[in-house]
Amino acid sequence: MKLSNKKTLLKKEQILSAAIDIVKKRGFSGATMEEIAAELLMTKGSLYYYFKNKSDLMYQCHNFVLSQATEELEEILAKGGPVKEVLRKMIEKHIHYAIEEKETFNLIMEPKRYFNKEQLELVLKLRNYYEGLFDEIIQRGLKSGDFHAEDPAIARMIILGAMNWIQQWYRVDGRLSKEEIVRIYYDYIIKILE
Amino acid sequence: MKLSNKKTLLKKEQILSAAIDIVKKRGFSGATMEEIAAELLMTKGSLYYYFKNKSDLMYQCHNFVLSQATEELEEILAKGGPVKEVLRKMIEKHIHYAIEEKETFNLIMEPKRYFNKEQLELVLKLRNYYEGLFDEIIQRGLKSGDFHAEDPAIARMIILGAMNWIQQWYRVDGRLSKEEIVRIYYDYIIKILE
Amino acid sequence: MKLSNKKTLLKKEQILSAAIDIVKKRGFSGATMEEIAAELLMTKGSLYYYFKNKSDLMYQCHNFVLSQATEELEEILAKGGPVKEVLRKMIEKHIHYAIEEKETFNLIMEPKRYFNKEQLELVLKLRNYYEGLFDEIIQRGLKSGDFHAEDPAIARMIILGAMNWIQQWYRVDGRLSKEEIVRIYYDYIIKILE
Amino acid sequence: MKLSNKKTLLKKEQILSAAIDIVKKRGFSGATMEEIAAELLMTKGSLYYYFKNKSDLMYQCHNFVLSQATEELEEILAKGGPVKEVLRKMIEKHIHYAIEEKETFNLIMEPKRYFNKEQLELVLKLRNYYEGLFDEIIQRGLKSGDFHAEDPAIARMIILGAMNWIQQWYRVDGRLSKEEIVRIYYDYIIKILE
DNA sequence: AATGAATGAGGGTTCATTCAT
DNA sequence: GATGAATGAACCCTCATTCAT
């Protein structure tokens, strides 16, 4: 199997995309190879040509989503600007994902029970990197004097946890619009960091 | 089965306790009736004498832990004292559950994936009540002038989200002990509420 | 266990009655010891004091119903009268059972898969006896010259089969009333026997 | 699974055939997926590649046999010939099915006990159609003057009921051979219709 | 006489995985 | 590259049956 083959890589991505759709709906253990294959008009067996096993496929799904989110945050950070404004954009982006991509974003919250040791290691590395982007902006703020934090790593976790929790209670027809939520969250987060 | 029978109730609790142990380790869908029974030196079938089905048992696990946590928070609230001190105790308790009871207490997991309609309704009711206890202490603080909050409901959600997220990253052998985490979280939460 | 004990016999009959009710609803294999016991506000285990096992209980159910029907036919036969009139009454009675006691009567039609060899033997004997009551009236008719039949045993089976089949299509609000059905069936049966 | 695939269809028929054999012996609820698979030197799980579940398989067994019988009756009717001769062939065929296919063909059993709503609807439709074929030949006889019947619909039911009942008492080693039974039944049925 | 409790053998069903073609 | 087909382990659940109390 030439994995370097362009066609193969394309197909892998298609499978990933379909798998992510299914995982969004059913969760990791709820997703079946059967349903994923069906979405692609393929058969179960074919998936095993591209992925070693379900665990491998699930792992790469997780990777894919996390990487995508990572890239978007990197862009925001790269663009630069006033620290608080950059943070605001990152918050907006993260909350957007948490609300609009709800289930996809849940990927990030799924337990690591499904991955083996090496996969787990890589997953943690990626997670750390993603979370590190928030550390990055916090550090900028600390240097610029905009922020103050006793334990910046914990501050970052508090912020992430708070934002991820939104998907538990957010309703499209709720009291607050997405924009208002972002604004209020931003205000509270600033309180944490000042 | 006589539900009034003390022996029966005791056994039910023993089963619940064993089930909770397994769920902690394996999660709701990873836990098997077989393993739970084995833990008690019973056979699978016997469990069905006490619980209607797996879903029922799982629900009662979640319920049990959540109810217990609820009671403990109620006690803390009932005892009264300086608002911030009461809040600190509540934070301590919640973080304890999030870390030690992990999956069973897991408020992040989407209950609709594991529970049926009636169970779901009860779980959500209980969750709401539990979360309301945090509203209660926040209100006390607002009245006493200890706290200030633009949108107290959102503040409460930020606080809960932040704490629930701990179970995603906490490691027994991590940099920080549980006590230190509690202290740092308390400090940040006070910043949010002041 | 003194089976001769009057109390015991009474209890046995109560159990039988409840069991028949359940079998009516669920069929032989669908009936469970649990449900039968519940109907009597007893527990499963207690049933085994009165009946060796489920097969035994089912067998006695079958016996009970069949015996009851047998008695009623015997009465009609004993009363005597013009052959055709007696036959008409028997037909009326049998059809009444088939329609009104539908499920109970179905007991008689249930397969013998559930019974062991000795039970089977006795069941067949009882069945033969019941069916023999129709042979009896046919014989009377043959002797009196009212009837003629090449193979009376087969004639009797045709008649019984035809009547038992009614419960497959009879509807309370159907085209024909019970009385009309009895009349038409009687006419056709006479055609068979003349 | 490609339903158009001939091999698949063939296999489905093989499974059906084996299932029919088992159902003949054990009845619908007595038949197990295990035993059916074993008969084919397959494993339980494989059956689910071809049939959705046991209920589906059982339904198709009944359907298959009933459809086959229907086709054969249709052929006989299509071929035409003297009314009484056609009826004789139909009786022969029906009795053959009632005896040889026993449980699978079983028209006495209440389909609602084994089939779900949609299956039930289809079964009843097919049964009605099958029974209608007997109406057809009766009508021909009425037109040709061979038969006379006060209520032809009831006559048909009497005839069918009589024949279906045979499977309750027929024994391979009984007094009468299948051929003799057919002849005697034919004679009696003619008496009903003349 | 009765029961609470436990058992264990099965049955239906699902699904990741394999493999010849 | 892909698939049809089969597998087998695992899981949930039911239920007749047993037995100490």
**pLDDT tens by residue, D121-155:** 999 999 999 999 999 999 999 999 999 998 999 99
Which protein residue's Cα is closest to nucleotide F9 at C1'?
Answer: D45
- Residue A162 has a pLDDT of 96
- At C150-179, the pLDDT tens digits run 899 999 999 999 999 998 899 999 999 999
Residue B159, min C-alpha distance to chain A (Å): 7
Dist CA C25 CA C19 (whole Å): 10
Instruction: Give ranges for CATH 1.10.10.60 in chain C.
Output: 1-51
Nearest-angstrom CA–CA distance, B186 and C3: 75
Q: Is A53 helix (H, G, I), strand (E, B) or coil?
A: coil
As a whole number, mean pLDDT of residues B150-159 equals 95
Higher local confidence (pLDDT), D16 or A5: D16
Average pLDDT over residues B155-170: 94
| Helices B152-169, B178-193: inter-axial angle, 10-degree rounding | 160
In the predicted structure, residue D7 carries a pLDDT above the cut 70: yes
Mean pLDDT of chain B: 93
- The domain covering B6-193 belongs, at the CATH homologous superfamily level, to Tetracycline Repressor, domain 2 (1.10.357.10)
pLDDT digits (tens, 9 = 90+) for D57-99: 999 999 999 999 999 999 999 999 999 999 999 999 999 999 9
| Phi and psi torsions of B74, nearest 5° | -60, -45
What's the rounded Cα separation, in Å, for the pair D25 and D46? 22
Calculate mean pLDDT across residues D36-60: 95
- Confidence band of C110 (pLDDT split at 50, 70, 90): low
Could you tell me the CA-to-CA distances from C58 to C52, C65, D180 in Å, in that order? 11, 11, 35
Residue A68 token pair: 């995508």
Please tell me chain A's helix, strand, coil percentages from 3-state DSSP, rounded to the nearest 5: 80, 0, 20
Residues of C in contact with D181 (CB under 8 A): 154
What is D61-193's CATH topology?
Tetracycline Repressor; domain 2 (1.10.357)
Distance CA C30, CA C23 (A): 7
Distance from CA(A49) to C1'(E19), angstroms, rounded: 12
Q: What is the mean pLDDT of residues B122-143?
A: 96
CA distances A175 to A168, D128, D154, Å, are 15, 59, 69
HEC readout, chain C? CCCCCHHHHHHHHHHHHHHHHHHHHHCCCCCCHHHHHHHCCCCHHHHHHHCCCHHHHHHHHHHHHHHHHHHHHHHHHHHCCCHHHHHHHHHHHHHHHHHHCHHHHHHHHCCHHHCCHHHHHHHHHHHHHHHHHHHHHHHHHHHHCCCCCCCHHHHHHHHHHHHHCHHHHCCCCCCCCHHHHHHHHHHHHHHHHC
User: Would you call A188 and B188 a contact, using CB atoms and an 8 Å cutoff?
Assistant: no
Q: From the list D157, D185, D192, which residue is nearest C169 (CB)?
A: D157
Q: What is the mean pLDDT of residues C67-80?
A: 93
CB D130 within 8 A of CB D124: no
Mean pLDDT of C27-38: 91
Q: Most B CBs within 10 Å: which of A109, A160, A165, as the mutation test of the B interface?
A: A165
Task: Tally Cβ neighbours within 10 Å of residue C130.
Answer: 18
The CATH class of C63-193 is mainly alpha
Rounded CA separation B186/B148 (Å) = 16
CA-wise closest residue to C109 among D57, D165, D178: D165
pLDDT band at residue C1 using 50, 70 and 90 as cut-offs: very low
Chains near B, with 3+ CB pairs < 8 A?
A: A
Nucleotides of F under 7 A from a protein CB: 1-20
A49 touches chain B (CB under 8 A): no
Domain with CATH 1.10.357.10 in chain C: 63-193
Residue B187: its chain A contacts at CB < 8 A?
150
Cα C73 off chain centre by: 10
- pLDDT of residue C92 exceeding 80, the answer is yes
* Cβ of residue A158 closer than 8 Å to a chain B Cβ: yes
| Mean per-residue pLDDT over chain D, rounded | 93
Residue B27 falls in which region: left (phi positive, over 0), alpha (psi -120 to 50) or beta: left
**d(C-alpha A98, C-alpha A93), whole Å:** 9
Residue type, position C20, single letter: I
Task: Pick the more confident residue, D183 or B110.
Answer: D183
Which of A59, D166, A70 is CA-nearest to residue C153?
D166
- Establish whether chain D is in contact with chain B, requiring a minimum of 3 CB pairs below 8 angstroms: no
Selecting from B29, B110, B161 the residue whose C-beta is nearest the C-beta of A165 gives B161
Structure tokens at B137: 């202490």
For residue B68, what pLDDT is reported? Answer: 95
| Closest Cα in chain D, distance from residue C150 (Å) | 8
Contact in structure between C162 and D162 (CB atoms under 8 Å): yes
**Which residues numbered 75-134 in B keep a CB inside 8 Å of some CB on A?**
103, 107-108, 110, 113
Chains D and C touch (3+ CB pairs under 8 A): yes
Beta-carbon count within 10 A of D68 CB: 13
Which among A165, A169, A184 has CB closest to B150? A184
Does B25 reach chain A within 8 Å, measured CB to CB?
no
Q: How far is C191 from chain D (nearest CA, A)?
A: 6
Which residue carries 């069905």 as its tokens?
B48
Residue nearest to nucleotide E18 (CA to C1'): A45
Task: List, in order, residues 6 or more apart from D31 with CB less than 8 Å away.
Answer: D19, D22, D23, D25, D58
CB A109 within 8 A of CB B168: yes
Give the minimum alpha-carbon distance from A161 to chain B in angstroms, rounded to a whole number.
4
Whether pLDDT at B4 is above 70: no
Euclidean distance between CA atoms B134 and B139, whole angstroms: 9
pLDDT attached to residue B148 = 95
Nucleotide with the nearest C1' to D30 CA: E11
> Cα–Cα distance between C127 and C136 in angstroms, integer?
14
| CA–CA distance, B171 with B180 (Å, rounded to integer) | 13
State pLDDT tens for residues B7-41.
888 999 999 999 999 999 888 989 999 999 999 99
User: What pLDDT does residue B139 have?
Assistant: 97
Give me the phi and psi of A148, to 5 degrees please.
Answer: -140, 135
Give residue for tokens 């491998």: A56
Distance (Å, rounded) from C-alpha D3 to C-alpha C188? 49
pLDDT digits (tens, 9 = 90+) for B94-104: 999 999 988 88
| Closest chain D C-alpha to C171 CA, distance in angstroms | 14
Average pLDDT per consecutive 10 residues, chain A (194 residues; last block may be shorter): 71 93 86 94 93 93 87 96 96 90 68 79 88 96 95 95 92 93 96 94
Tokens 């790469």 correspond to what residue? A60
8 Å CB contact of D162 and C164: no
Nucleotide nearest to B34 (CA to C1'): F11
Q: Is C155 on the interface with D (CB under 8 A)?
A: yes
What pLDDT does residue C108 have? 67
- Asked if the C-beta of B26 comes within 8 angstroms of chain A's C-beta atoms, the answer is yes
Q: Strand E: which nucleotides have any atom within 7 A of a protein Cβ? A: 1-20
- Cα–Cα distance, A95 to A161 (Å, whole number): 11
Q: Hey, are the CB atoms on C166 and D157 less than 8 Å from each other?
A: yes
Tell me, yes or no, if A171 comes closer than 8 A to chain B by beta carbon: no
Q: Return the CATH number of A1-51, one of 1.10.10.60, 3.40.50.720, 3.30.360.10, 3.30.565.10.
A: 1.10.10.60
Distances (CA, A) of B182 to A131, B85, B146, B179, C75: 21, 13, 20, 5, 88
Residue D125 half-sphere exposure, CB side, CA atoms within 13 Å? Answer: 6
| Cβ contact B156:B109 at 8 Å | no
AA letter at C5: N
Q: Over the Cα atoms of chain B, what is R_g?
A: 18
CA distance A141 to C180: 96
CA dihedral C105, C107, C111, C112 (to 10 degrees): -130
